[in-house]
Amino acid sequence: MVKIGGAPSEDRWNKLSREELKTLSLEIILERRKIISDMDAKFELLTNESAIHEWHNLVSYFERKIKVLRECFPPYSAEIYISRKDFHYRDILRQFKEFNKRMSYKELYLQLKTESSALEGFISERASLKRKHEECEKHLAEIRKKNEGDRSFLDESKITVTNLTGTIVSEKKAMQREISEMKRNQANAIQRLSELKETLKQKQAMLEETIEQRQKQTEDLKKEVEENSRLKGILNTRKAK
């Protein structure tokens, strides 16, 4: 299975091409299905008479498989990551980090407001500088447009990050539930195996007791037959006389 070198890393995922992302995501899904099928097949081979260490080894095996599978996932949900058109999440996260390196939106807004007030005062006081005023007005419009775009992008990025965080938490909880269910099933199987062994022990004791009783009955019956034969011989002897 394709891996990105150990634990999930956003940097490593961002270096992958779109086709590599598609291929890796598909392989993750196939590996997950393979683990589930393998789990079903191995459970079919185990019975209540299987040794405890066989159940323990099976659980440990699947825990290792699940750990390897989890290391292949990106820092956010692979299922959602590949379902979005054109894989925008990588660029959104990267641009969001770059945006955070600049001044905050509030500081930018106050700065633009100050520049706007200064430019408007300058324009009203110096009508003779019309050309410069038009250039400044154009620059101001561009700054305002960029400011609005940054604000919209920030809002969308916050929603995206929130959704991704929720998905990660949900998947982690689901994985924990699956592991807990597996451990619970193992405990139930061990308990059931212990009960069956105890029942078998009791039945074996009863069988041994029954065998002893039957052996005794056989011996008594044999003695009775021998006694009858002896008495019959005596009776025949007397009749002959």
From its phi and psi, is residue 17 left (phi > 0), alpha (psi between -120 and 50) or beta? beta
Q: Does 122 or 170 have the greater pLDDT score?
A: 170
pLDDT at res. 21: 72
> pTM of the entire structure?
0.29
34-66 burial string, b = 16+ CB within 10 Å, else e?
eeeeebeeeeeeeeeeeeeeebeebeeebeebb
pLDDT at res. 105: 52
Contacts of 55 (CB under 8 A, 6+ apart): 46, 186, 189, 190, 193
Q: What is the pLDDT of residues 148-178, one digit of tens each?
A: 888 888 888 888 888 888 888 888 898 999 9
Q: What is the pLDDT of residues 60-119, one digit of tens each?
A: 777 777 777 666 665 554 444 444 444 554 554 555 455 455 445 556 556 666 766 676
